[in-house]
Structure 1
Amino acid sequence: MNNQAQVNVSWFRHSSPYINAHRGKTFVLMLGGEALEHSNFANIIHDISLLNSLGVRLVLVYGTRPQIEARLQERGLPSRMYQHQRITDEATLNCVKEAVGLARIDIEAQLSLGLANSPMFNAQIRVVGGNVVTARPLGVRDGQDMCYTGEVRRVDANAINRLLAEGNIVVLSNLGYSPTGEVFNLSVEDVATRTATALKADKLIAFGDEPGVVNKDGEVINELLAAKAERLVKQHLASLGEHEPISQLARILKALVDACRGGVKRTHLISYQTDGALLTELFSREGSGTMVIQESYEQMRQATIEDVGGLIELLRPMEEAGILVRRSRELLEAEIERFTVVDRDGTIIGCMALYPFPDEGCAELACVAVHSEYRGDDRGLQMLEHIERRAREMGLRELFVLTTRTAHWFVENGFVLSPLTRLPAKKKELYNYQRNSKVFFKTL
């Protein structure tokens, strides 16, 4: 087997937990008109087809902003905006209808592809839609008639769920319909957000031109709390002039925040320009973009017996390297209540154990480990602070640790090199002179 084949096999094996986790779940995918026109859109369609074949229930919501603009220019019609929203008069509405209709035909055509030499061979995807989004007019805003620009009034979740239950991909546009028979131009973000919340979707995934939200060093932030994302949007809006358009990133972040507030547990921003961004985001631990969530999906908690397998996987590389003393499954099971773990989406990525010696007023800090892919983000320090709080609550005055490789980290965090004679008597009796670990104490 060549190296590339080995990489493929390894990736597929590691993706299997995510395949199982996503099967039967409902995902709403939001694609703006820019994504539909990009050369990578064919690859996105292939990935959507793959998700469908893996049993994911999919709703695809698409927008047509650039396509509408192009038609307005072709006809010499003005593009009028008010409060960052398009004013949709009757002539503009005709352009909207044309753009939406042609885009839908193209989407359906690509989802129908089934050539023997294509990734969608034998996929046999069924695409459905309908008048499931009820809309109402925005009306007159500060004296400005918004005409046929509207907002979502209701999404028929029952009808969509019936269509999804039959294995269809539901495709919705930025058009909505009123009980009076009128058609309204909606924002794709409004449709996607309201659809995701109405369906109680497991995910809302938005495709933007950026790979995600980046920090000051230009690095993609993997996880962003909704409150922080909301602050970023407000800062952007405050910086705009009266007639300046809202950036695509701000529009998407607002939609993701609104979905979080509406009960969607996980929302994602990924790039429509990056081949495989959707699959990487869904089937790898770190993903490819930014996840916006109401609360962090990484938690620090007391270990349970169900965590033993995860602890073994976490500790094995460090035990084999001689950094940690080897612990058997039986010992871990017997001492599991001593452990605090960092759980990231069901995977144990960090741990520490606390062994109190109440008569001496101290406790041993042991088995300190952070997964190699998650070092450098202060998780070790966060665990240490958590353990220190526990020790104080137990009335203990000191922590001590025995280490051979990571002395510098403990010194940086307040531990002081100490003689063996300071160890509690029972610990002194078990000291391994062959291992020759150094002893460090910290006063709480």
Structure 2
Amino acid sequence: MNTPAEFVAWFRSVAPYINAFRGKTFVISFSGEMVTNAAFVDFIHDVNLLASLGVRLVLVHGARPQIQLRLDESQLETQTVMGMRVTDPAALQCVKESVGRVHHEIAALLSMGLPNSPMANAAIRVTSGNFVTACPQGVIQGIDLMHTGKVRKINAPAIHSRLEQGDVVLISPLGYSPTGEIFNLTMENVATETAIALHAEKLILLLDSADTSVLPRELTLPESKLLLENKTPARVAPIPDAIRSSLQYATKACELGVTRAHLVSRHIDGAIIQELFTHDGIGCMISQETLQALRKARIDDVGGILQLIEPLEAEGILVRRGRELLEIEIDRFTVLEHDGVILGCAALYPFPEEHACELACLAIHPDYRDQGHGERLLKHIENKTIAQDIHKLFVLTTHATHWFIEHGFNPATPAELPKAKQNLYNYQRRSKVLIKHL
């Protein structure tokens, strides 16, 4: 942002996200590798920012490299079964020491409040507890995994209670049994089950992989399942095992009630901020349903439509409509919405006595043109016209003549317009008249 105007435009663009996220619960998981990275402090600053915006945060950390280092120092070797470490009593002692150290280091960073830093006046309260009840993995392939466990239950009421007090909840990859045993869990298992139990708005998995380009920017739940089943022949690059595992957890979370799950590389500066506060994001988002909808406009869409069409009105491309007129005519409008943001709109005005309809105010956001959105809106308007048993659609345009001709419209004259429209024709604008017979 090189100018004040660019800064103001950017700040306004994030306002809808701030309003949407306030009071929502996000579960964010990150690995022990991330904790050891020098950029981890910047991540803590981003967590502070989310907390200051009223987001209810649950952080789930890993500790794999720290555990491995402690095992090496103790000259202990452990088996792995299907990617899971066998945690015997000696290894469990190393796990407890390593996880405890990492946990306290994170809590200390979250407690920072240095002047002239992003943490100034933060006053974040960090809370932890025995929120995770676990049980043993058991015997797999003939090998007893002993203290390696899996989540049995999350104490959601206790976590909600702390979140309602404004605390950031920090959860480690350890679980406890009713008999007093401690189990070594995976960070992903804890984060996913926590998000499900809390009915979280978002589960955000920060990946150690530097390249997530093998994943699409967006996946619906059915699309994610097909991807995991390798039923997408158009895909060229195979999904690495580490990313596939995270995608499986994200898919499970959405399947069991989490609104959205995000897979984001931890190596990108400000990864969670870029993913959450930009329209396209930088990672892969899995949602229960498609994020794009073509629907009838509502009164609360007026602001979004005005924001979309006002620049075109200023250029003389569209006829100027004030807010009051738009509110009166909102039932005439169809909007193309993506993740709560209006990308396009179109209006349909019928002239039933002359068996014709007018397509008006067709507009697509500049950043999303040439992606087929205009064609989709046009097809929808055509179908609405036919549904009224009308087969003549006309449009007046000053700039998009060729586009409409390419989509089946033919040049016409103002005399071919319905009488009521002829009386309103503005000869100063000299709009081109085009008609399509459906």
Q: TM-score, normalised by structure 2?
A: 0.90
Pairing partner for 2:403 from 399, 403, 409: 409
Instruction: Return closer, same or farther for 1:83/1:361 CA change in 2, 3 Å cut-off.
Output: farther
Aligned-partner Cα distance in 1 for 2:371–2:12: 27
Pairing partner for 1:225 from 201, 217, 220: 220
Instruction: Return closer, same or farther for 1:10/1:391 CA change in 2, 3 Å cut-off.
Output: closer
Which residue matches 2:348? 354
8 Å contact kept, 1:340–1:352: yes
Task: State yes or no: 1:303 paired with 2:297.
Answer: yes
Which residue matches 2:360? 366
Aligned-partner Cα distance in 1 for 2:419–2:221: 50
Pairing partner for 1:249 from 224, 231, 243: 243
**Cα deviation 1:73-104 (Å, max 9, x = unaligned):** 44454453323333333333333223211211
AA matched with 1:81: T
Moved more, 108-117 or 256-265: 108-117
List runs of 5+ in structure 1 lacking aligned partners. Answer: 237-244
8 Å contact kept, 1:351–1:383: yes
Aligned-partner Cα distance in 2 for 1:73–1:231: 40
Pairing partner for 1:440 from 406, 412, 434: 434
| Aligned 1:16-27 pairs, distance under 5 A | 16-27=15-26
**Cα deviation 1:211-257 (Å, max 9, x = unaligned):** 78536xxxx84432122223333339xxxxxxxx9633222222221
Instruction: Return closer, same or farther for 1:212/1:313 CA change in 2, 3 Å cut-off.
Output: farther
Which residue matches 1:179? 178
Q: Give the secondary-structure state (helix, strand or coil) at the position aligned to 1:191.
A: helix
Which residue matches 1:158? 157
8 Å contact kept, 1:211–1:288: no
Instruction: Return closer, same or farther for 1:360/1:87 CA change in 2, 3 Å cut-off.
Output: farther
| Aligned 1:321-400 pairs, distance under 5 A | 321-400=315-394
Aligned-partner Cα distance in 2 for 1:185–1:314: 52
Aligned-partner Cα distance in 2 for 1:200–1:79: 36
| Structure 1 residue 6 displacement after superposition | 4.8
8 Å contact kept, 1:69–1:79: no
Q: Give the secondary-structure state (helix, strand or coil) at the position aligned to 2:27.
A: strand
Moved more, 342-351 or 102-111: 342-351
| Structure 1 residue 309 displacement after superposition | 2.3
| Aligned 1:283-294 pairs, distance under 5 A | 283-294=277-288
| Aligned 1:8-407 pairs, distance under 5 A | 8-209=7-208, 213-214=212-213, 221-235=216-230, 247-407=241-401
Q: Give the secondary-structure state (helix, strand or coil) at the position aligned to 2:427.
A: coil
Q: Give the secondary-structure state (helix, strand or coil) at the position aligned to 2:189.
A: helix
Instruction: Return closer, same or farther for 1:410/1:24 CA change in 2, 3 Å cut-off.
Output: same
AA matched with 2:177: S
Aligned-partner Cα distance in 2 for 1:307–1:143: 60
8 Å contact kept, 2:212–2:265: no
AA matched with 1:423: L
Which residue matches 1:240? none
Instruction: Return closer, same or farther for 1:102/1:268 CA change in 2, 3 Å cut-off.
Output: same
8 Å contact kept, 1:324–1:367: yes
| Number of corresponding residues | 432
Aligned-partner Cα distance in 2 for 1:212–1:358: 56
8 Å contact kept, 1:176–1:183: yes
8 Å contact kept, 2:291–2:338: yes
Moved more, 303-312 or 165-174: 303-312
AA matched with 1:225: T
AA matched with 1:442: K
| Structure 1 residue 57 displacement after superposition | 1.4
Q: Give the secondary-structure state (helix, strand or coil) at the position aligned to 2:371.
A: coil
8 Å contact kept, 1:205–1:268: yes
Two-structure CA RMSD over aligned residues (Å): 2.6
8 Å contact kept, 1:84–1:246: no
Aligned-partner Cα distance in 2 for 1:191–1:412: 54
8 Å contact kept, 2:348–2:360: yes
**Cα deviation 1:320-378 (Å, max 9, x = unaligned):** 11111112223222221110012334433210011122344331111000111222332
Which residue matches 1:239? none
Q: Give the secondary-structure state (helix, strand or coil) at the position aligned to 2:281.
A: coil
Aligned-partner Cα distance in 1 for 2:8–2:396: 39
User: What is the identity percentage for the equivalent residue pairs of Structure 1 and Structure 2?
Assistant: 50
Aligned-partner Cα distance in 2 for 1:22–1:304: 22
8 Å contact kept, 1:211–1:289: no
AA matched with 2:115: A
Aligned-partner Cα distance in 2 for 1:417–1:143: 78
List runs of 5+ in structure 2 lacking aligned partners. Answer: 232-238
8 Å contact kept, 1:212–1:221: no
Aligned-partner Cα distance in 2 for 1:110–1:120: 9
AA matched with 1:342: L
Moved more, 85-94 or 313-322: 85-94
Aligned-partner Cα distance in 2 for 1:15–1:152: 36
Q: Give the secondary-structure state (helix, strand or coil) at the position aligned to 2:362.
A: strand
Aligned-partner Cα distance in 2 for 1:6–1:316: 17
AA matched with 1:178: S
Instruction: Return closer, same or farther for 1:355/1:141 CA change in 2, 3 Å cut-off.
Output: same
AA matched with 1:125: I
